[in-house]
């Protein structure tokens, strides 16, 4: 029996308290919900089928999850003019909650498990923490180390352990998410604004997907990139890429030591920053040059020529499938193909002064905040057209990963039996889809079914 017919792993990400390990049985095979099994289709085909003992299988099947935060994929839109956060249900494109904050600025970051949102409050010199289960503020963290430090950009590490906050007066604050306290303040430069985190190379050098990633990342180096194994060391790190807008550079922080390890010259007034899902490339919007610079993380150098986009580019987002980059400018959005680093198609018209941008976990929709229109435009990536316009509070401008991550299920995306395998696992796990939807926090059974379909799409 092929692995794709045997694996029965039921995983739902975004659960708190370690309950992300959801186990289900289809046929006679059980696979534990360990990160080592979250592999690509290619590596799964090459993997051996695990056959645990009956005692282990019974123990694993008894490990069921408790009800947790809703798994609807919500977008958190900060409005500096209204001092609020609008919560948009991306399934219905409606505002489902409004949260009052203390003068929020531009930075928004949802944790990898989807349970919390960290938002910079610029004038207040604080960061608010929102619990997504209740959409209430559960903590307020002073940052910047003094008066009028103006926290702006926010980013969370891939393991969710740290939050990095760019203070416009020249530093980056580091927050320990376990205690919600500042544990370090890093001098950066003239005017750090937005930032993004590149994940480290996964552990286990022999894993095929890790070898593929290293190969891809090396292909992005220029001929003068690092050699003699230095690129291996750089890819093994988790790094933060910070736009120093007035310094015309991107500053690189090593998250292991919280020290600056590189300064990369880019275009004039770099602002928006985004990292590809594989961690190989960083895209930087140069506001005063109307271009986007591309950085290879293996060498921490700019590769290729700057990519021309529209006037005053601001926000940058990479689709989770890694194929497209979306850049806001003037009154439109440019689309860059990552394989060639060229703009494809015509700009997509949206509202006035589009700023922040983010993409849903399935890469099907792009959400664009229109600062002067007090709206959010929703773009369907299949047609690159606006399919909805959502009114929000005044001056929306919440840059960062402001959309919750999506769930994962038993099947293998791209295979014809992915949907059936996932549904079978849920039915057996929870004795029916109605119970599964309720236990996993979906607002409706159709929401759960849509999530499975989206997950299974290659």
Q: What is the pLDDT of residue 290?
A: 97
Tokens of 428: 């057996």
What is d(CA 322, CA 380) in angstroms, rounded to the nearest whole number? 16
Q: pLDDT tens-digit profile of 233-268?
A: 554 579 999 999 999 999 999 999 999 999 999 999
What is d(CA 335, CA 346) in angstroms, rounded to the nearest whole number? 8
* Cβ proximity of 377 and 389 under 8 Å: yes
Q: pLDDT tens-digit profile of 308-358?
A: 999 999 999 999 999 999 999 999 999 999 999 999 999 999 999 999 999
* Cβ proximity of 240 and 195 under 8 Å: yes
* Cβ proximity of 264 and 301 under 8 Å: yes
Q: What is the pLDDT of residue 212?
A: 52
Within 62-119, residue ranges assigned H as helices are none
Within 136-263, residue ranges assigned H as helices are 208-219, 230-235
Q: What are the backbone dihedrals phi and psi of residue 249, each rounded to the nearest 5 degrees, phi first?
A: -140, 165
What is d(CA 403, CA 336) in angstroms, rounded to the nearest whole number? 21
CB neighbourhood size of 58 (10 A): 12
What is d(CA 402, CA 381) in angstroms, rounded to the nearest whole number? 18
Give which of 340, 341, 354 is closest to 386, Cα–Cα. Answer: 354
Residue 366 C-alpha from the chain's centroid: 13
Helix (H, G, I), strand (E, B) or coil at 48: coil
What is d(CA 172, CA 192) in angstroms, rounded to the nearest whole number? 8
Residue 65 to residues 8, 13, 20, 68, 235: CA-CA distances in angstroms?
16, 12, 8, 8, 35
* Cβ proximity of 186 and 174 under 8 Å: yes
Q: What is the pLDDT of residue 350?
A: 98
Q: What are the backbone dihedrals phi and psi of residue 455, each rounded to the nearest 5 degrees, phi first?
A: -65, -40
What is d(CA 236, CA 203) in angstroms, rounded to the nearest whole number? 9
Query: Which positions of the chain have pLDDT values less than 70?
Result: 1-71, 105, 144-148, 201-236, 413-414, 458
Residue 197 C-alpha from the chain's centroid: 9
CATH 2.130.10.10-classified regions of the chain: 74-401
Q: What is the pLDDT of residue 445?
A: 86
**Span 74-401: which CATH code?**
2.130.10.10
* Cβ proximity of 361 and 403 under 8 Å: yes
Give which of 170, 166, 172, 169 is closest to 185, Cα–Cα. Answer: 172
Give me the chain's average pLDDT, please.
80
């Amino acid at each position: 029996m092929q692995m794709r017919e045997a694996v029965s792993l039921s995983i739902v990400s975004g659960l708190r308290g370690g309950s992300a390990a959801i186990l289900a049985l289809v046929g006679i095979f059980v696979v534990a919900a360990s990160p080592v099994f979250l592999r690509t289709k290619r590596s799964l085909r090459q993997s051996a089928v695990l056959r645990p003992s009956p005692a282990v299988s019974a123990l694993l099947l008894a490990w069921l999850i408790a009800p947790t935060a809703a798994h609807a994929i919500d977008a958190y839109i900060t409005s500096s003019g209204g001092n609020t956060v609008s919560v948009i249900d991306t399934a219905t494109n409606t505002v489902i909650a409004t949260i009052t904050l203390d003068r929020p600025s531009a930075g928004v970051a949802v944790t990898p498990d989807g349970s919390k949102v960290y938002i910079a409050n610029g004038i207040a010199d604080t960061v608010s923490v929102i619990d997504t289960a209740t959409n209430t503020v559960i903590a307020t963290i002073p940052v910047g180390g003094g008066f009028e430090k103006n926290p702006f950009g926010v980013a969370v590490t891939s393991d969710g352990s740290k939050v990095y906050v760019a203070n416009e007066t020249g530093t980056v604050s580091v927050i320990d998410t376990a205690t919600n306290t500042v544990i370090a303040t890093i001098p950066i430069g003239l005017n750090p604004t937005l930032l993004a985190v590149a994940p480290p190379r996964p552990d286990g050098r022999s894993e095929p997907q890790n070898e593929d990633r290293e190969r891809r990342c090396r292909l992005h180096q220029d001929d003068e990139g690092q050699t003699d194994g230095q690129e291996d060391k750089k890819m093994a790190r988790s790094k933060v890429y910070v736009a120093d807008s007035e310094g015309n550079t991107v500053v690189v922080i090593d998250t292991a030591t919280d020290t600056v390890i590189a300064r990369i010259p880019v275009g004039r007034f770099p602002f928006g920053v985004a990292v590809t899902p594989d961690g190989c490339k960083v895209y930087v919007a140069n506001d005063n040059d109307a271009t986007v610079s591309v950085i290879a993380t293996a060498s921490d150098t700019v590769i290729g020529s700057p990519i021309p986009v529209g006037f005053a580019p601001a926000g940058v987002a990479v689709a989770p499938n890694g194929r497209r980059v979306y850049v806001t400018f003037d009154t439109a959005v440019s689309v860059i193909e990552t394989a060639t680093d060229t703009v494809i198609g015509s700009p997509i018209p949206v509202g006035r002064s589009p700023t922040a941008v983010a993409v849903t976990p399935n890469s099907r929709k792009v959400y664009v905040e229109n600062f002067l229109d007090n709206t959010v435009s929703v773009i369907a990536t299949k047609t690159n057209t606006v399919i909805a316009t959502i009114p929000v509070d005044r001056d929306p401008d919440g840059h960062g990963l402001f959309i919750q991550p999506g769930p994962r299920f038993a099947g293998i995306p791209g295979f014809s039996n992915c949907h059936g395998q996932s549904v079978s696992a849920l039915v057996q796990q929870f004795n029916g889809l109605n119970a599964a939807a309720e236990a996993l926090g979906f607002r409706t059974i159709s929401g759960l079914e849509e999530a499975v379909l989206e997950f299974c799409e290659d």
